[in-house]
Amino acid sequence: MEILQLAVFGGLIIGVVYALAGASMVVLYRTSGYVSFAQGDIAAASLFVGLILNNMGMPYLVVAAGTILTGAILGGLIGSFIVVPLERLGAVTAVLATIAVGMIIQGGEMLVFGAEPKAFPSAGDATVFTLGALDVSVADVVSVVTCALVFAILGLAFGKTSTGIAMRAVNDSPDAAQILGVRAAQLRRRSWVVSGALAGVAGLFIAPTFGLTPFSVNAFLIFAFCAVVVGGFESIVGALVAGIGVGVISNLVAVYFDVNLVNISVYIILLLVLLVRPHGLFGRRPLERV
Amino acid sequence: MPDENTVMLAARAVDMRFGGVKALSGVEIELRRGITTGLIGPNGSGKSTLINVLTGVYRQTSGAVEFLGEDISRVSARSRALRGLGRTFQHPQVARSLTVRENIAVAAELRRHDDAMGVDDALVVFGCSEYADQLPPQVPYGVLKLMEIARAVVCGPRVLLLDEPAAGLNHDERRELVESLQRFRNTHDTAVCLIEHDVALVRALCSELVVLESGRVLGRGPTADVLQDPRVRAAYLGDDMAESNVEAGDPS
Amino acid sequence: MSATTSVVDRQLLRSRTNAGLEAGRGRALLGMRVVLVLIAVVAAVSVGLGSTSGLRYALAMGAVYALAALANGVVMGGLGEISLSTSAWLAVGAYVCGLALEAGWAVGWAILASIVVTAIIGFVVAIPTVRLRGIFTALATFVLAWAVPQSIIYLEPITGGSHGLSLPTGNTVLGLPLGGSSPGQLIFSYICFTIAGLVTLALAESRIGRRVVWVGESESAAAVFGVKVTWVKVAVWTWSAAVAGLGGALFALTVGFLSPDQFPATLGINLFVVAVIAGSRSIWGAVLAGVLLAVVPTQLQSFIPSSATGIIFGVILLLALLTGAGGLAKRVEWLILAAWRAVRGGRHA
């Protein structure tokens, strides 16, 4: 029973981080219609900057702020100068560009920092309370609160602000994008800034637990990918529910079956969901035009 | 033995609803062998929706679609194509990496009836021979629209539904379109339905018209009569049904 | 032949070859492309036979990756979809081959087993996968590739898990010794590629290939005309898996030892990237892609640490994307055509 508790509650907490990491991808998808394979690398690069700040003796808040800011700047640069200009050649080209950028960042990190895992400070390791057999730390609480805040803000932004609505319009309708013209490209660049910042935020909760290497964030992000796809890119709520679902189910599979079955189970879940509800459990079906 | 007046394809009391919008109400249409029927109406009157219902892309909310008298409402679009329904699209749907000839040939491989026109003949009848070995991006828009019709024709369809074949065509291309269709009709008795805005084109090619407005049939009958009908004329005052000067013979 | 007819003929030929160049397929350039495949293969083998064992080994791996690039090209060039799971098929093909050899099967049967098993699994996976589009296909194939190393570990009783699987040594085919940097392996691997490549080319230029392109580029039209779109797509993905399975078998024979960390998801990404750089529809381009991936990282190791080769590939990919679609192969073909026309134009002057 204790093991089950640990699995479920542990999955819940990590699922929140999956959802948070997924938010970065959702923002980009809702504006531009594709997924970036570079988010993990943007996060890692931002974290390395944060690490430098940390090693200089800066307090955690400065480290966190530095990480998020780097993510925003890096995302903005990559989007503006590389990916958005290539969007005119199609979504496949844009995705390839994100793959290319990811490879370059990864290579750079390997050269500069090497592959040895580095320790990264967390928001706080002290136990706040216990859920059954699980100790919930300050960092865990902060991650849940941050996730709630981020989703609330994103939900509001996409639903109510003119920028947010414009971002959605630009993706939903190519005609709208054409009418908005230059503004559409500007919106897409902005979404890269936001997406980059969110990648940094997610990284702040990933690195302390999993260590920081050029690959560790990417490995984590795959679960986030799956969560977001399963939940539906159109839906923030979906990302949250699916993130928790993925977290809990992977823990259960690891505990009751075999830890080495986790990845393939995630794949099967992904495939099943995509088969039955291609736009995710909470996603909207787009209008089919002939 | 099917005779001249055989009803090949029909819509019977068709309603089509999308959410809260009723796109078609009680629409009846008959497409008969050897007859070219024009389907006209203002933008948004439901013409394309009706074609999609007839070809099986949409399933109507109520009513029936009949092929040679048999109810095919539940038959998939794919199966309807195999039974002999051919269509073109408003915006040409072509494979960019296949030449004009290949684009037609891929469809010809799906032919079900031996009396279907061959690829080379289709290229000639529809005026595409000059561009046969070129790729769609290098070919004039008008030729692509003719190619689409050629592609539909080589499957030997019993019914041919043409969705605005003249849209985007210039004066010469429209004349080419009319002549191509007339050449085609000289040797084939396929039932043809032509959705069009161009009144002169419709006059040149269609012996019968069905007029749609806001999803309902406003009028039907021989072309000249329908075009004289004051209700029909009233519906189009100020609308974009343009008269263009297309030289062509009388409707057959 | 009168002057006017020959002018018209030349114009016709010119427009046909232009179309063939632009589309990456077509009868007009078929002969040239077959010759280019043979040249590429012969070049790779000749260089390999005349060089150090290190380079020979790398070139043998080049044939493996060329098959993987071909597999990616089939899906990308035929259906326009991204496949990041070719590393998964390499793994399946490799382990099946390894297990078959361990069980005492002859090389030929082991390779056949690899192809068949990979094709079957590829077929099963393709059925759900073809319902996806664009970015979702990329994601689904990526997640499959990512799940493979861990699954190999899970199947430890069969695969040897993280301890790895050692193949029996002394494999031969028709008396030719295989393995590692042996000349036999190099020759045999490229012969396998040539067969797979030319068969693929023949299929692509046949009515089957035309139907595939129709489905890939104008799916709604094909469906409305009665094409069984789903089955066409499944067939393409299955063929892709089979080709990669063959590559996997050669991987096993060349390397001689298999372990899960030889098939990470990044391999799937790299294989896709080089296929794009070289050009998806080009068979001889696949040789280019394979050799690029196999040779560049190892040969540059003396100048650049291997970890940074990602930077190089990333930069090359970006350059390829920025300078327009079509890939390296198309550029080379354009040059060849231009040279050919200059020569013939000179004669007609």
Is C332:C310 a contact under the CB 8 Å cutoff?
A: no
Residue matched to tokens 């509800």: A277
B to C CB pairs, distance under 8 Å: 72
- A103 to C317: CB separation less than 8 angstroms, yes or no: yes
- C131 to A106: CB separation less than 8 angstroms, yes or no: no
Partners of B86 in the β-ladder: B160
Q: Token pair of A212, please?
A: 């920081």
| pLDDT of residue A182 exceeding 80 | no
Q: What pLDDT, on the 0 to 100 scale, is given for residue A46? A: 95
Please state the pTM of the whole predicted model: 0.89
Q: Tell me the shortest Cα–Cα distance from A41 to chain C, in angstroms.
A: 13
Helix (H) or strand (E) holding C78: helix C53-79
Which residues in chain A are closer than 8 Å to B52, comparing Cβ atoms?
A: 290
| pLDDT of residue A170 exceeding 90 | no
ipTM for the predicted complex comes to 0.86
Q: What pLDDT, on the 0 to 100 scale, is given for residue C347? A: 60
Which residues in chain B are closer than 8 Å to C28, comparing Cβ atoms?
A: 133
Q: Establish if C25 touches chain B: CB-CB under 8 angstroms.
A: yes
Tens of each residue's pLDDT in chain C, 349 residues: 456 678 888 888 888 888 999 888 988 899 999 999 999 999 999 999 998 988 999 999 999 999 999 999 999 999 999 999 999 999 999 999 999 999 999 999 999 999 999 999 999 999 989 988 888 888 899 999 999 999 999 999 988 888 999 998 888 888 888 888 899 999 999 999 999 999 999 999 999 999 999 999 999 889 888 899 999 999 999 999 999 999 999 999 999 999 999 999 989 999 999 998 888 899 999 999 999 999 988 777 777 776 677 888 888 888 888 876 678 888 889 899 889 888 877 665 4
- Residues of chain B by 3-state class (helix, strand, coil), percent to 5: 35, 25, 40
Q: Establish if C128 touches chain A: CB-CB under 8 angstroms.
A: yes
Q: Token pair of C238, please?
A: 């299955």
d(CA C202, CA A233): 41
Q: Tell me the shortest Cα–Cα distance from B155 to chain C, in angstroms.
A: 9
- C217 to B97: CB separation less than 8 angstroms, yes or no: yes
Q: What pLDDT, on the 0 to 100 scale, is given for residue C348? A: 56
A38 → chain C, closest CA residue: C314
- List strands edge to edge, sheet with B62-67: B21-32, B7-18, B62-67, B70-71
What residues does each domain of chain A span? 2-124+137-276
DSSP of A52-108: HHHHTT--HHHHHHHHHHHHHHHHHHHIIIIIHHHGGG-HHHHHHHHHHHHHHHHHH
Q: Establish if A290 touches chain B: CB-CB under 8 angstroms.
A: yes
Q: Choose among C19, C226, C227: nearest Cβ to B133.
A: C19
Which residues in chain A are closer than 8 Å to C147, comparing Cβ atoms?
A: 263-264, 266-267
Q: Establish if A97 touches chain C: CB-CB under 8 angstroms.
A: yes
Q: What pLDDT, on the 0 to 100 scale, is given for residue C296? A: 85
Which residues in chain B are closer than 8 Å to A290, comparing Cβ atoms?
A: 52, 57, 89
Collapsing DSSP to helix, strand or coil, B22 comes out as strand
Which residues in chain C are closer than 8 Å to B81, comparing Cβ atoms?
A: 224-226
The verdict on domain A2-124+137-276 having CATH code 3.40.1420 is no
**B29-60 pLDDT tens trace:** 999 998 999 998 888 888 889 998 999 888 88
Alpha-helix runs per DSSP H in C205-264: 207-217, 219-224, 229-255
Q: Establish if B55 touches chain C: CB-CB under 8 angstroms.
A: yes
Query: Band of the pLDDT at A224, cuts 50, 70, 90?
Result: confident
Q: Establish if C203 touches chain B: CB-CB under 8 angstroms.
A: no
**Taking chain A, what is the end-to-end CA distance rounded to the nearest angstrom?**
54
Sign of the torsion formed by the C-alpha atoms of C250, C254, C256 and C262? negative
Contacts with B, C 209-248, CB within 8 Å: 210-211, 213-214, 216-218, 220-228
Sign of the torsion formed by the C-alpha atoms of C319, A93, A188 and A29? negative
Distances (CA, A) of B28 to A272, B53, B188, C336: 43, 12, 25, 60
- C223 to B105: CB separation less than 8 angstroms, yes or no: no
- A260 to C131: CB separation less than 8 angstroms, yes or no: no
**C20-74 pLDDT tens trace:** 998 889 888 999 999 999 999 999 999 999 989 889 999 999 999 999 999 999 9
d(CA C97, CA C254): 11
- Higher per-residue pLDDT: A172 or A135: A135
Type of residue found at C102: E
Q: Establish if C276 touches chain A: CB-CB under 8 angstroms.
A: yes
d(CA A153, CA A236): 10
Query: Band of the pLDDT at B252, cuts 50, 70, 90?
Result: very low
Q: Establish if C196 touches chain A: CB-CB under 8 angstroms.
A: no
* Backbone φ, ψ for residue B35 (5° rounding): -110, 140
Is C127:C242 a contact under the CB 8 Å cutoff?
A: no
